[in-house]
Structure 1
Amino acid sequence: MKTIPEWSVMWGDPPGGLEEVELISPDKWIAVRNGQPAPHKPALVTSAWIKIQLPSSIPKDYGMYIEDIRSQRTKVYIDHHVVWEANYHFPYDTQRSLFPISSEDGEKTVYLKLETSMDRLSIYSDVRLGHYTALMRSFMLKDLQNIIFGCSFLFIAAIMLIGSVFLNRGQFQSWAIISVLSLSVGVIFITYSPFMYANFTQYGGIYSASFDVALFLFLPALTYFIERIFDDGRFTWVRWFRKFQMAYSGLLILLMCVNLLSRNQLLNVYFFASVTVLAVIMVCQFILIIGLCIKLVRKGNKEAVIFSSGFAMLASMGILDLTNYYASSGNYQFFLWKWGVIALFIALVVILVRRFAMNQALMMNYSKELEFYNHQLQLSEKMEIISALAASVAHEVRNPLQVTRGFLQLVASRTDGKNQEYMRVAIEELDRASTIITDFLSFSKPQLEDLADLNVANEIKQIEGIIVPLATLHGGRITVHVPSGLYIRGNVSKFKQVLINLIKNSIEAFQEDGEGQIHIWAYEKQEHIYIHIKDNGEGIEPAKLAKLGEPYFSTKTKGTGLGLMVTFQIVEAMKGTIEFKSQRYIETEVVMCFPRVKEAEAG
């Protein structure tokens, strides 16, 4: 592949056309060497001629490729024959030319006639010679990246719009904004490519108008997304600026339609409004976005950090594009900004997905809390019923039971052995009924009286005389590791009742085919006292763990669940918590946590 080292330009169009152009003396032509910036078009000039001298030797199947021609109407002549032309009847002036040349064209001159109603008029790239097939590949693949990116964004927008049908109103707005942004970016990428205008010139006006509309939608949509994500009512200026952008974009679309209907009679007015004024608005928008992001990032807003990363990528790519543009005196085609737009779009999608994940987590937490409070409400209703029953029935039932027990003992002492066994069973059942009534009475008075500072080690030591023989009787043993100096606040008798209930449950859970073991230990952690009671009994199924402490629920055959219910009530009254952990046929562990009382205060 070869590069033409030099070509010449002449401003204006002589009346005689190409015949007169060929006769113009060389001093009227401006020589432009390869790599030099293209000369600026003089004011009021609308046409120009470019002369390119071909080398003497041209191989077979060669072609000439000019990547960047700034003109609306272009004709290429070789030997007075038009070998290539393009005519844009719309405000777009970036063209790309590829045409074949033969070996007979050696040392001939190629003339390009350029016409435009816009500001630029010249060649802004190298003029290359090479095999036509290789040049065609470059010609076709030059903008393939833009088209692929554009179609990808359009596909994403279509999928998101279809998926939005299944979203609620709150989620739909943010989702729709991202869809509009994706749609706008896709259209901008595709319609920015000169390939579309060069190969589908009949639709060029549609492409040009689509590019403008996509840009007009993108800018207010971006501000609206920022308003949805970051504005919590404090930044009213974001809302007002977004409304201004929407109104101005609507005005630009209306002005564009009027200009098209008038066959570009208002092109200068439209250009001023859609380029000059819009550029100022974009600069103001970016400054406001940067200021808002800096403020939110300093406050630790993670979404602002994500957005700032994407926006910084866009800004840096834009700065590099502008630097290259001015360094080459305008002989540069912007392309880095596309990667910045992609980075910004990815950041917006990440923020949206993060918001959806957070909302989903909030919904899950809300559902769990609702289920918990519903369970607590049901439990409270059960407890209220039991409390009312306990207050009204327990005292009335206990007295007849005691009288009946006394008479049974008296009769048992005067009967034979067989009847005495019956009497013993009847008395045991009456005692069990009395125990249930006692639990009812304990529940009917959940408040604690006679509060004192309790030494956990001393309280456990005092009940060892009761629980150790009971464990031995059931073929088990108890080990206790509780350091002194652990103090909690509560009622002595109630606290002992809690410990006895829990340890008694562990003893009753001993498995028949092994030695039962109960390990009790306590410690201090983060201003709280933790008490653990762990056994190697039968364990509790996971489905039943959540129901422990409910009235009338028990894992025992003859249990009522009132013992654990009272235990939960006492622990809660002492401002503590209780938790059960269990593995079936392996172990069960009870963990109680109480606020710590300092030893000095306890003394």
Structure 2
Amino acid sequence: MNLIRKCSVLVIVLILLGGIFAPLKSSAGTPPDEIRLKTWKVLWEKEIKEWDEISKGNHSWETINIEQGLPDVPEGVRSAWYRVDLPKLSWGQPGLGIYKLYGREVQVVSFDGKTLYNSVRQFGLDQYRLLLPIPSQQDGQSLFIHVKTPDDRIGIQESMLLGNYQEMFPNYVGSGLTNILLACSMILMALVMLFCSVLLRNAYFSSWITLAVIVLSFGFLILGYTDFVLVILPGYETALDMVFGAALISLMLALSVYFEKLVGSGPFLIIRRYRHLLVVYSLLFITFQLCNAFVSSEYFNSYIFSLDIYGMLLVIQLALLLIISIVYSVKKNFDAILFIIGYAIFSIPFIGELVWFILKEGQYDLVYWKWGILGFEFVLIIMLGRRIANNHERVIRYSKELEMYNNELQHSEKMEIISELAASVAHEVRNPLQVTRGFMQLLNHRSGPKEKEYLDMALIELDRAANIITDFLTFAKPELHEVILLDLGAELRHIESILVPLANMQGGQLKLHIEEDVFIYGNSSKFKQAFINMVKNSIESITVKGLVIISAHKKGNKVFVHIKDDGCGMTEKELARLGEPYYSNKSKGTGLGLMVTFRIIEVMQGKIKFTSKKGIGTEVMVEFPYGELNNPPIPV
């Protein structure tokens, strides 16, 4: 949902920007005093006629009126002469705008035989957009346009404009610059991506490079399909054709690699195997094209290795990617769903224009497919950005888990060392303490009042040392002895009765909120030892009129016990050290009590969690497995 919301915001921003810049485009308008030419004459050629024959001969010209529709081209005709009769011209430098003319070879000749324009194209782009400066004459004159093509599309397809050349030139350039700017922006974006790739980690490097190649290929495809490039760079028809072919090859290969990296290879690795086939075909295609460029031979001009066949292979690949995307999207692969969305953004205008091209019998040029490409690129960038973001989140999650496991390992090792130390030392220390205590009791009966005071203090400290030893032994071997089904309510009420006097002495209150029929397996005495220690800590943390709440409830197959107080609370640093030996917030505390509590809860298959805020209070949450009469007891 977050991704969809961000994409919606981006679309709204683009629409607003389009609304801002639309008036700028429309403000240019059409220059005034232009004449729209809707009629001209044509002479279909079955045999090529040179200008000398046209200028001297008497020929039967056929009149064309664009408002009445274009005539059918005679069968077998692949060249024609067009005669445009111009009215009287009053401009200092007149200009003639021809905005849709189909052909591979175009020659424009003035009435006096002067060649105004001549172009020969050896590649697939057969549409011309021309703005020609013509000689200024007070009397009417005629222009002759010779068109040759091996294709079915031929000749002038739209009305022409006659006007002031200087006023027509900005509109002519502006209409052609849109595709140039779109292509150049893609190429620039791809180059920036390539430069930025050196800053990426190896995990993202190949995907980022592949995406940059896709964007670069799309940019050169649009550039190669734009006839306005030849206005800027006349004479580079062959180079433009080679750029278009190279862009088509790199696009096919890079798109399949990108899809495989982000979505998958598909069943039976079909995407990878199809790409291997394309690599072999591409090498043969390049070889034949280079040989055809340098060696004039019909052998190297094979239709099998032409752009038409390559275009068919591209359509097959796009169909495969769409089918595999649908297969993965059924499996809830979000990258596949995104690819389908991007594919739809690209294919809907492209297929619509292709259908219209067929309905118009080839008299239409594809325009809007370029904007579909732009939308497709945005989706591909979103796919990669989403993958990088997911990997970043995964790395952060793994780092946190690794830190947690490392802390648990350190804690486990520390507890194991303390357990071994406690088991080996406790018995050895307890025996001398008991002997010492016995002799001091004997001395106490035979001593005077002053000596008794000192001996009593010594006995108290010996008892305190003995309790520490007992805690050590409990921590080292927290045996539950007798494991029974405990009624949690009864156990906690017993603990309440023991600790209510202590709470009253602190000036606070102790309250219970316990559900009925909440049971766990454990040892009653150890359970009381652990919870008395925790509740006692909560009571000692509160001030006058403080409150300690003990609650217990069952949720699913778990039992939860909460001990909450409104005492002094702890910082995050203090919370992190809870359970460590010899760490305590009390002035005379050893930290062993809470350490023993952790061990008892652990042996009873429980989990304990502390949450606290300084000056607000602390809450302890203990989780146990729910105990039922037919359940086996906890293994000790």
Structure 1's 462 and 89: CA in aligned 2 closer, same or farther, altered over 3 A? same
In the alignment, the residues of structure 2 paired with residue 38 and residue 304 of structure 1 have an alpha-carbon distance, to the nearest angstrom, of 48
Match of 1:545 among 575, 595, 610: 575
- Unpaired runs of 5+ residues, structure 2, are 1-33
| Distance in 2 (alpha carbons) for counterparts of 1:540 and 1:186 | 61
Comparing 484-493 with 496-505, greater Cα deviation is found at 484-493
Taking every aligned residue pair, what percent have the same amino acid on both sides?
36
| Aligned-pair CA distance for 1:82 | 3.4
Corresponding residue for residue 329 of structure 1: 361
What corresponds to 2:277 in structure 1? Answer: 244
> Is 1:127–2:160 an aligned residue pair?
yes
User: Cα distance, 1:345 vs. partner?
Assistant: 1.4
Moved more, 588-597 or 514-523: 514-523
1:233–1:104 CA distance, 2 compared to 1 (3 A): closer
TM-score (norm 1): 0.91
Question: Cα deviations across residues 397-440 of structure 1 (Å, max 9, x unaligned)?
Answer: 11222222233334344444444443333233222222222222
CA distance in 2, matches of 1:129, 1:424: 123
Instruction: Give per-residue Cα distances to partners, 1:229-270, cap 9 Å, x unaligned.
Output: 22267541111011111222222222222222236967842x
Q: Which moved more, 1:91-100 or 1:191-200?
A: 91-100
Question: In the alignment, which residue of structure 2 is the partner of 1:303?
Answer: 335
Q: Does the 8 Å CA contact 1:2/1:129 hold for their aligned counterparts?
A: yes
Deviates more, 1:481-490 or 1:423-432: 423-432
Worse overlay, 49-58 or 359-368: 49-58
Q: Which residue of 1 aligns with 2:172?
A: 139
Give the counterpart of 2:560 among 506, 530, 546. 530
Structure 1 residues 503, 26: CA separation in 2 closer, same or farther (over 3 Å shift)?
Answer: same
Question: Counterparts of 1:378 and 1:277 in 2: how far apart (Å)?
Answer: 66
- How far apart are the structure 2 equivalents of 1:68 and 1:536? 84
1:93 aligns with 126
Q: Could you list the per-position Cα deviations for residues 49-91 of structure 1 after superposition, in whole angstroms to 9, with x for gaps in the alignment?
A: 1122224576665422111222333222332253631323542
In structure 2, the residue corresponding to 1:529 is in which secondary structure? strand
Tell me how many residue pairs correspond in the alignment.
599
For the residues of structure 1 that align with 2:478 and 2:376, how far apart are their CA atoms? Answer: 60
1:277 is matched with which residue: 289, 309, 312? 309
Q: Does structure 1 conserve the Cα–Cα contact (< 8 Å) formed by 2:266 and 2:324? A: no
Q: Does 1:475 align with 2:481?
A: no
After TM superposition, give the deviation of residue 304 of structure 1 in Å.
Answer: 0.9
Secondary structure of the residue aligned to 2:158 is coil
Counterpart Cα distance in 2 of 1:167 and 1:417: 83
Q: Distance in 2 between matches of 1:434 and 1:57?
A: 121
What code does the residue aligned with 1:291 have?
A: I
Give distance in 2, aligned partners of 1:9 and 1:89.
22
On the 8 A contact 1:10/1:30 being kept in 2, the answer is no
Q: CA 1:456/1:193 → structure 2, altered by over 3 Å: closer, same or farther?
A: same
Q: Which residues of structure 1 form unaligned runs of 5+?
A: none
- In the aligned structure 1, how far is the partner of 2:259 from the partner of 2:49? 59
Q: Does 1:254 align with 2:284?
A: no
Does residue 67 of the first structure (1) align with residue 106 of the second (2)?
Answer: no
SS at match of 2:161: strand
User: Hey, what's the Cα distance between the residues in 2 that align with 1:335 and 1:548?
Assistant: 70
Q: Deviations over 1:282-314 (max 9, x none)?
A: 232122112111111111111111110000121
Is 1:435 the counterpart of 2:467? The answer is yes
Cα distance between partner residues in 1 of 2:581 and 2:202: 43
Residue 564 of structure 1: how far off its partner (Å): 1.9
Superposition deviation, residue 319 in structure 1:
0.9
Please identify, of 522-531 and 303-312, the stretch whose mean Cα deviation from structure 2 is larger: 522-531
3-state SS of the aligned residue for 1:142? helix
Check 1:101–1:418 CA distance in 2 against 1; reply closer, same or farther (3 A cut): farther
Residue 9 (structure 1) aligns with: 42
1:18·1:80 contact (CA, 8 Å) conserved in 2?
A: no
Q: Partners in 1 of 2:432 and 2:265 — Cα distance?
A: 68
1:267 to 1:96, Cα distance in 2 relative to 1, 3 A: farther
Q: Kindly report which structure 2 residues correspond to 1:445-594, keeping only aligned pairs within 5 A, or say none.
A: 445-446=477-478, 448-511=480-543, 514-594=544-624
Residues of 2 paired with 1:224 and 1:35: CA distance? 51
Match of 1:398? 430
> Which has the higher mean CA deviation after the structures are superposed, 551-560 or 323-332?
551-560
The answer for the alignment partner of 1:156 in structure 2 is: 189
Deviation at 1:516, TM superposition (A): 2.9
Q: Deviation of residue 487 (structure 1)?
A: 1.6
